[in-house]
Structure 1
């Protein structure tokens, strides 16, 4: 993506987590543009109603009000218009049964929300390295979970 910023979208209802994520993006400086939405209904409206602003990558929390992350990923991957957008699950829990279900639904990666700010920056940098080019790497169970 030469000369353009990577457009990341974070869908998360936890305001503190959103603030830490935004601060991490700001410190990565100039590499990314960030859109933050606070529930699954807002996410789906944004994706459907504003096709010119589609993100390059979606960071998706699982436990959100109104519409869960699980419901959102199922809708996104079922859509011919949206299914190409890589989804990174960004959640507090790390239940391996849920992780396997998310892989089967089509998520590209899973990140357990880091507790430390430096680790948040680290995982975001890894995602930027993975998706900051014009060639998206194929999904793989071997590297599905991204660690700081």
Structure 2
């Protein structure tokens, strides 16, 4: 399935992080339709509504993905409608055990978020470009995991 853009959701309660994602996505050479959510309840309400478009990529702050109620990552991976959704979980700091746990719970990508703008821009760009390649080539996403 070839499309001219990716539907991307960013779920983060920190408005500065959301703004960062918006600015970086504008700079990319890939067409992106970006939606943002500031908490897990609103995100899950959106994703559970069958009338809404399921994004190809979901960037989710670790706190929303794993720690908060609802535990969004677990709910997403249990829903057959959301099977093709690539989940990118990011955090500023997470132990090796925590990173492993994120993958066990179903994340496709773990991204370490840094304070360096150029570094985080490259990481977000890499995640989006990887997803774009899978999206446009029809590659199987079932076993797709990465750490950037």
Give the TM-score normalised by the residue count of structure 2: 0.84
Distance across 1 between alignment mates of 2:103 and 2:17: 23
Other-structure match for 2:139: 135
* Residue ranges of structure 2 left out of the alignment (5+ in a row): none
2:73 equivalent to 1:87: no
Distance across 1 between alignment mates of 2:13 and 2:51: 23
* Residue ranges of structure 1 left out of the alignment (5+ in a row): none
2:110 equivalent to 1:120: no
Q: 1:28 offset after TM fit, Å?
A: 1.2
Cα deviation, 1:2-39, whole Å, max 9, x if unaligned, reads 34211111100011111111111111155212111001
Higher strand share: 2
Residues 136/59 of structure 1: CA separation in 2 closer, same or farther (3 Å cut) = farther
Contact 1:57 1:86 in 2 (8 A): yes
Q: CA RMSD in A?
A: 2.2
Other-structure match for 2:104: 104
Distance across 1 between alignment mates of 2:70 and 2:110: 13
Q: Which moved more, 1:88-97 or 1:8-17?
A: 88-97
Give the TM-score normalised by the residue count of structure 1: 0.84
Other-structure match for 1:145: 147
